[in-house]
Structure 1
């Protein structure tokens, strides 16, 4: 399969972890392979492909953190400067559940503007004021208009029609046994949300011995398909493994998800963030849900692109122009 002209690749799809990259590649309608010629200063590795009518460049960070994310974005802008216009940040992250938001493992979080927040906030950016409190300063870029419109149209369609992303997930899982092993849905019994003050025993390798008496009571869901939640993604450089801190962040910001990369992307590359929930940002973290959560996020992103006409994307500003403003 011949590689299309680089000018066709207007969408950057950024992932943090190898499992995110693998899930993204599963969503390609056409895979053009690895880009082997790029800016000499660019250390990224790109998989190029097509989803529907859109040509996308997929890049992985290699390591977590906003600094790593910023470096990947700058490199991508150099290599795809003649064409790159909008971005997707897709992969796994931590959910921030509450009585208002019944967020569970495998669910999907989509960054969406609320109030004065464009959908992503850097929770650890600000200045220390009275009593040691952090007053957040500055703001991140708003998402591209074409992607916000696509999200709104996808949300409206979901009110009357079944979403297509579960079909994309099922198709990927039917590909072969290895895909099913790496991306299959764990049993619902592996989704355990503990009360925020119940810490995981330091010496225990798994949660098998964690007491059920400390689990939050949640009603059983009838359907196994992931639910989609729209709202604020909080982003910072430190990994979160503490239920009390997670709850404090929720109360202060209204965030429904926590990650370590989105702020580093949004600073220079306005995009929509799509996250599959693989843990609850507490001490009970494990990797059981990572594959399924990554596949859920990638499948949603694929459906989202079907709501994005090619014309409006071409009318967005080039990312390199915004970077040099």
Structure 2
């Protein structure tokens, strides 16, 4: 046995080993004596000690404070066979050496993520077990002083295919849009209620008019698109009970006037909200603004901003639901979104409450199960420390000290809708035995839509909910969704969770992954959407004191990237909307 200096060392100890897994513990310890069962490193590795055998300690170990899991593919040099391996890092923390304060939960998460990003950096990612463990020990030795202990579990997985995943965190720009029937339907749905013409769509996208016309004819045969006068096309509203084309909205008696307005931006969002409304009728107003230059088929009628209003009941409340023709920050999109909102609130002047309902991108929490947002969950705009529920980032500047953001904040004067949402979340979180009302509303709607609805509102497979972490530049790595430390706490299948926090938008922060994460952490943002600030400006300009944003999570960016999840995410958001409305006091004039 050899005496050593009473200094803190980084010690690796085997914990357990099976036929297909190995678990190691790497921790900071003071070791006074060593023996032949230990390897004490020297030279540039001084301060590292390796126990050759497992050490059994008395007492019960505390559960890990955080964990991160990712997977790697090992390739046999002899056979070329791929073997997938799960690697789990479990973290324990301690106060920093220069303070007695224990790192906060957010600080722990930040340290764990920074450690992980440095560990798996593509520049020097370890290619074998020894290099992987060695890098963990060296990182602990020289940095990350608040990490007390890391448990490393390496487990080989059988029968897993090599995954197909994006190569970087950002999509390539400037891609040519391929002409397909699905793409044409997407454009028609996006423009709805504005009609589109084959001439305009072909010109805007550089497509052949005859080929485009063939795709439109196919969509017509599937009852997805209908032909209007003047050679224009729009979405066939197959789910509406009654659709009336009007030049202006008919006059309504006072008791039939809606007091709640719901604004959507995508066609599937509008369908989802409509499925929550009873006794509904839809009015569409098309606006023509003259003719464009003539073609071989004669002059083409030009359409202005059209409007769609679906009226009906949710619970004791009269509702009007509309769809914006487009959103975003082009001048045309901002003008159209603002005009549509202003026209809605001008037409229905008894509206007191405004709901912005649809899809958004979630802000994942890579290490904390309770804070993590998954696809199909819902984020409800809720006041942060500054009482803001929505933030628009005009500009983000990267400096030596970090990121600086120019932000336009928005808040309602009345937070009664947010309070109802908070009570719904509290009830659901406290009682797992009772099915939350929004889950029942969602199931009823799925039964109504049936299996043949288009779009398909059924939940996609959870296997498609892939989580990636940006690890520097544009490199990403797939990581596992965090698991609860308490194994008795699990997500229930088909039961989305509600999260409360602010919602944000802004092209620069949405586009750049690292900036988006920093903005979310700094501002307390839980979801990003596709720029609704012009809509909120109109709501506030029309002196509406109560408004709320409800975002079903369809991806981990801004809700526009993963089409597969959009219908289901829209339906969950609409179901939560109905639950909030049913929690409101009934209006006095009905």
Asked whether the two chains share a fold, i.e. TM above 0.5, the reply is yes
Residue 334 of structure 2 is aligned to residue 70 of structure 1: no
Give CA-to-partner distance per residue, 1:191-243, whole Å, 9 cap, x none. 00011238999xxxxxxxxx9x6324433854121111000101235683443
Q: Which residue of the other structure, out of 467, 474, 477, is the alignment partner of 1:193?
A: 467
2:499 alignment partner, SS class: strand
What is the match of residue 50 of structure 1? 313
Q: Which moves more between the two structures, 6-15 or 270-279?
A: 6-15
- How many residue pairs get aligned? The number is 300
Shift of 1:56: 1.1
* Alignment of structure 1 residues 133-152 onto 2, 5 Å: 134-136=404-406, 138-142=408-412, 144-152=414-422
What is the match of residue 483 of structure 2? 219
Write the distance in 2 (CA, Å) between the matches of 1:290 and 1:282: 11
What is the match of residue 445 of structure 2? 172
* Alignment of structure 1 residues 196-211 onto 2, 5 Å: 196-197=470-471
What is the match of residue 86 of structure 1? 353
* Alignment of structure 1 residues 1-325 onto 2, 5 Å: 5=253, 8-34=257-283, 43-65=306-328, 67=334, 68-81=336-349, 83-98=350-365, 99-100=367-368, 101-124=371-394, 134-136=404-406, 138-142=408-412, 144-158=414-428, 159-160=430-431, 161-175=434-448, 176-179=450-453, 182-197=456-471, 214-219=478-483, 221-224=490-493, 225-237=495-507, 240-269=510-539, 270-281=546-557, 285-311=561-587
Q: Which runs of 5+ in 1 are unaligned?
A: 202-210, 315-325
Give CA-to-partner distance per residue, 1:90-147, whole Å, 9 cap, x none. 0001111113421000000000112113211112269x79879644355323263432
Write the distance in 2 (CA, Å) between the matches of 1:231 and 1:287: 24
Conserved? CA contact 1:243–1:282, under 8 Å: no
Q: Over the residues paired in the alignment, what is the CA RMSD in angstroms?
A: 3.5
The structure whose residues are more often strand, as a share, is 2
Conserved? CA contact 1:52–1:306, under 8 Å: yes
Change (3 A) 1:49 1:239: farther
Q: Which moves more between the two structures, 55-64 or 300-309?
A: 55-64
Runs of 4+ in 1 over 4 A off after TM superposition: 1-4, 35-38, 128-135, 198-201
1:256 alignment partner, SS class: strand
Change (3 A) 1:157 1:113: same
Conserved? CA contact 2:467–2:479, under 8 Å: yes
Write the distance in 1 (CA, Å) between the matches of 2:478 and 2:395: 34
Write the distance in 1 (CA, Å) between the matches of 2:473 and 2:440: 37
When Rg is computed on C-alpha atoms for both structures, the one with the higher figure is 2
Write the distance in 1 (CA, Å) between the matches of 2:444 and 2:260: 24
Conserved? CA contact 1:107–1:277, under 8 Å: yes
Shift of 1:149: 3.4
Shift of 1:46: 1.1
Change (3 A) 1:198 1:108: farther
Conserved? CA contact 1:120–1:234, under 8 Å: yes
Give CA-to-partner distance per residue, 1:243-279, whole Å, 9 cap, x none. 3232122123120100123322322325110000000
Write the distance in 2 (CA, Å) between the matches of 1:303 and 1:105: 20
Change (3 A) 1:42 1:77: farther
